């Protein structure tokens, strides 16, 4: 082969290799774009924009509308968390009365519960946040003020009421995961990945004042909130329902290192959106009930 022919052959091969490399790069970019648009079923794409906190603590309070708490001089601590965290200004309960909302928040469905009557323990085997976390190898617990003993399925005891503890309704959640509030750890790094806190009927503002509930949160969860701010952890304060006078618009405040301080969202959210966000924050690939079609809470997370 002549020198000029050899040079021409090498040039052709180089152009061929460059074309292949360019095609591969384009394909990779296209795959990345498809994944970003939801072409992958991975948890990462499903949970786009949701942080992955090391610990999440959700506390559910009772029967107050947004305007009764947010901006109220009776709730200085909750409002300080709002200022230093995020305020969902259009957050809503699902229904009335109380108990169905707890089931909605925990399982994406009211599970046919329509009143506050004591339920038969383990009456449902539907998917829920607790069962999903356990199946994924994550840790879960609830901490229940005035619960007589760990795992007790009693309907009521003093200021304790089972109607605010939906985990007892599910056969796929061990009753032992329901702990007394006295078992809430002082070493916050020992907390489960996700936990719920249920104050008793006075501390949750059901039978006592907004001020009483606000003080209870400060005294019992204030140290965790401070810790969460520097330990990639999250505190969520929400309510089951309003006072039946405000269209079921409720306070929901999020606080911790993953949250942009002073942020707010006017997007309409409800218990199903919060459940979906909790599931996605843990990288869960399944979503319970109506959480499967709910959107994540966005616009408040720190980059």
Mean pLDDT for the stretch of residues 81-108: 98
Q: Does 245 fall in a domain?
A: yes
* 19 and 58 share one domain: no
- The sign of the dihedral angle between the CA atoms of 153, 177, 161, 105 is negative
- Same domain for 23 and 87: no
267 lies in some domain: yes
pLDDT at 26 over 80: no
Q: Based on the fold, state whether residues 67 and 12 are members of the same structural domain.
A: no
Quick one: pLDDT band at residue 48, thresholds 50, 70, 90?
A: low
Looking at the fold, whether 15 and 101 belong to one and the same domain comes out as no
Residue 176 lies in a domain: yes
* Residues 233, 107 within the same domain: yes
Same domain, residue pair 149 and 218: yes
Same domain? For 20 and 104 the reply is no
- Reported as a single tens digit per residue, the pLDDT across 156-188 is 999 999 999 999 999 999 999 999 999 999 999
* 82 in any annotated domain: yes
Considering the domain architecture, whether residues 9 and 126 belong to the same structural domain is answered as no
pTM of the model: 0.85
Quote the number of domains for the chain.
2
Domain membership of residue 186 (yes or no) is yes
Are residues 16 and 105 located together in one domain of the fold?
Answer: no
First to last CA, the chain: 61
Cβ neighbours for 231, distance < 8 A, ≥ 6 positions apart: 54, 55, 188, 189, 257
Bridge partners of 55, per DSSP, are 233
Residues 204 and 61: beta-carbon distance below 8 Å = yes
Report whether pLDDT(31) > 80: no
Instruction: Write out pLDDT tens, residues 210-250.
Output: 999 999 999 999 999 999 999 999 999 999 999 999 999 99
| CATH value at residue 167 | 3.40.720.10
Q: Compute the distance between CA of residue 70 and CA of residue 261 in angstroms, rounded to an integer.
A: 16
Whether the Cβ atoms of residue 133 and residue 283 lie closer than 8 Å to each other: no
Residues 23 and 67 in one domain: no
Q: What is the pLDDT of residue 47?
A: 56
Q: Cβ distance 231 to 52 under 8 Å? A: no
Find the domain containing 167 and state its range: 54-293
Which of 156, 139, 138, 140 has the alpha carbon at shortest distance from 148?
Answer: 156
Task: Looking at the structure, tell me whether residues 13 and 124 fall in a common domain.
Answer: no
**48 in a structural domain:** no
pLDDT at 298 over 50: yes
| Cβ atoms < 10 Å from Cβ of 112 | 11
Specify the DSSP class assigned to residue 301.
Answer: B
Asked if residue 28 belongs to a domain, the reply is yes
Is 302 inside any structural domain?
no
pLDDT given at position 303: 82
Measured distance CA(88)–CA(66) in Å, rounded? 10
Answer yes or no: do 224 and 181 share one domain: yes
């Amino acid at each position: 082969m002549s020198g000029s022919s050899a040079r021409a052959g090498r040039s052709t091969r180089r152009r061929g290799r460059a074309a292949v490399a360019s095609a591969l790069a384009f394909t990779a970019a296209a795959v990345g774009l498809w994944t970003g648009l939801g072409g992958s079923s991975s948890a990462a794409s499903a949970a786009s924009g949701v942080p992955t906190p090391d610990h999440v603590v959700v506390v559910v309070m009772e029967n107050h509308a947004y305007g009764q708490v947010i901006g109220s001089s009776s709730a200085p601590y909750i409002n300080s968390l709002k200022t230093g965290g995020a305020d969902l200004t259009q957050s809503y309960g699902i229904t009335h009365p109380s108990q169905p909302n707890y089931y909605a928040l925990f399982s994406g469905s009211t599970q046919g519960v329509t009143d506050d009557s004591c339920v038969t323990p383990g009456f449902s085997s539907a998917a829920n946040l607790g069962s999903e976390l356990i199946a994924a190898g994550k840790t879960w617990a609830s901490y229940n003020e005035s619960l007589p003993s760990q795992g007790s399925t009693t309907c009521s005891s003093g200021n304790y009421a089972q109607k605010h503890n939906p985990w007892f309704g599910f056969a796929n959640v061990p009753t032992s995961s329901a702990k007394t509030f006295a078992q809430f750890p002082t070493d916050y790094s020992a907390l489960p990945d996700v936990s719920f806190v249920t104050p008793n009927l006075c501390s949750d503002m059901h039978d006592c004042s907004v001020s009483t509930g606000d003080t209870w949160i400060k005294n019992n969860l204030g140290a965790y909130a401070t810790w969460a701010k520097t330990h990639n952890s999250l505190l969520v304060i929400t309510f089951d329902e309003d006072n039946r006078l405000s269209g079921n618009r409720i306070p929901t405040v999020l606080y911790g290192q993953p949250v942009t301080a002073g942020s707010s969202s006017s997007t309409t959210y409800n218990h199903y959106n919060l459940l979906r966000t909790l599931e996605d924050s843990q990288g869960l690939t399944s979503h319970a009930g109506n959480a499967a079609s709910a959107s994540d809470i966005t616009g408040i997370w720190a980059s």
